């Protein structure tokens, strides 16, 4: 499959394949042997039709048995157990939840016991955090010093709410994480060229981001609408929160530019399944 990459001269995510299952990983995280992570693609699952084939959502009309088999296949390919997964309940908030061993299985093996959670953090080995996407921005956090992780969903509302900063602050409060020690990544999501928004969205960004950033974040077109750069917005949030520039990995791949490889809400006009980001601490860690 011909994948369209951005910034071809810069390091980007790596395509991995195990059997028929294809997924993406970050080279920057692979230096930590106790961390398991990936971002799913559309390839290697059993779902059919608009969900073909690696759909990871139970809420879009796909068959439950197919979705569970997709989780099983991906977990086997990447190296984690389905019963260890803890999923988000995304409602475009900046709510970040501390996750423990008792949460394992929430959202996949059994119904979630919580609501309105767009970000999660943990330091418990054997817990695999999972958040969902089809254009919004995944944010990954790895603190190798305190062996703690975070994973957050950042659409435009979450970006305005700076959920990236909220996640870092919560890791600092719960685990003692220092921002300069945290390795971060921005995941596959919609690029600026594909992301047209109305003025009301831009007004929200203007109220949240310093004027010196506006030129790099958005521009207005002749039709009066704007093109918005969520990748750059979240990079700025990371830097302002104290993350080192060299500890920020960019995706280099747009969901909307690659609708046959990744699910995109915009490219398919809502007729799609869900991708997912996974980040966990291996059971044998510590």
pTM: 0.98
So what's the pLDDT on residue 73? 98
So what's the pLDDT on residue 133? 98
Residues, the chain: 286
So what's the pLDDT on residue 7? 82
So what's the pLDDT on residue 286? 41
Query: What sign for the dihedral angle of Cα 57, 58, 60, 65?
Result: positive
* Residue 195: CA count within 13 A, CB half-sphere: 23
So what's the pLDDT on residue 180? 98
DSSP string, 153-208: EE-HHHHHTTHHHHHHHHHHHHH---GGG-EEEEPSB--TTT-EE-HHHHHHHHHH
Q: Sketch the domain layout of the chain as residue ranges.
A: 14-191+230-281
So what's the pLDDT on residue 39? 98
Cα(219)–Cα(192) distance, rounded to whole angstroms?
Answer: 10
How would you class 126 by CB atoms within 10 Å of its CB: exposed for 0-12, middle for 13-18, buried for 19 or more? middle
So what's the pLDDT on residue 285? 42
Q: Dihedral through CA 282, CA 249, CA 188, CA 224, nearest 10?
A: 150
Paired tokens of 176: 């003692």
What is the number of other CB atoms lying within 10 angstroms of the CB of residue 190?
27
Cα(163)–Cα(155) distance, rounded to whole angstroms?
Answer: 10
So what's the pLDDT on residue 201? 98
Report the chain (286 residues): mean pLDDT per 10 consecutive residues. Answer: 85 92 97 98 98 98 98 98 98 98 97 97 98 98 98 98 98 98 98 98 98 98 97 98 97 97 98 98 72
17-32 as b/e: b if 16+ CB within 10 A: eeeebbbbbbebbeeb
So what's the pLDDT on residue 8? 73
CATH architecture of 14-191+230-281: 4-Layer Sandwich (3.60)
**Spatial CA neighbour of 133 closest among 15, 272, 23, 237:** 272
């Amino acid at each position: 499959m011909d994948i369209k990459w951005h910034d071809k001269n810069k390091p980007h995510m790596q395509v991995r394949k195990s059997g028929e299952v294809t997924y993406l990983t970050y080279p920057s995280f692979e230096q930590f042997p106790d961390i398991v992570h990936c971002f799913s693609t559309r390839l290697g699952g059993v779902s059919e039709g608009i969900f073909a084939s690696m759909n990871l959502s139970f809420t879009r009309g796909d068959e439950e048995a197919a979705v569970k088999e997709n989780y099983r296949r991906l977990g086997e390919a990447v190296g984690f157990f389905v019963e260890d997964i803890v999923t988000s309940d995304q409602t475009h908030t900046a709510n970040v939840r501390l996750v423990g061993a008792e949460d394992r299985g929430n959202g996949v093996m059994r119904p979630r016991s919580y609501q309105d959670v767009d970000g999660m953090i943990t330091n418990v080995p054997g817990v695999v955090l999972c958040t969902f996407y089809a254009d919004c921005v995944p944010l990954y956090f790895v603190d190798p010093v305190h062996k703690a992780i975070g994973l957050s969903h950042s659409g435009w509302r979450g970006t305005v709410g700076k959920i990236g900063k909220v996640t870092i602050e919560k890791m600092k409060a719960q685990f003692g994480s220092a921002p300069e020690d945290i390795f971060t990544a921005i995941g596959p999501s919609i690029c600026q060229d594909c992301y047209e928004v109305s003025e009301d969205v831009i007004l929200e960004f203007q109220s949240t981001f310093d004027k010196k950033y506006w030129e790099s974040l958005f521009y207005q077109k002749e039709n009066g609408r704007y093109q918005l750069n969520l990748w750059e917005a979240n990079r700025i949030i990371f830097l302002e929160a104290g993350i080192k520039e060299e500890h920020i990995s960019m995706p280099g791949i747009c969901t909307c530019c690659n609708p046959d490889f990744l699910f995109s809400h915009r490219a398919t006009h809502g007729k799609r399944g869900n991708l997912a980001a996974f980040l966990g601490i291996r059971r044998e860690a510590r």
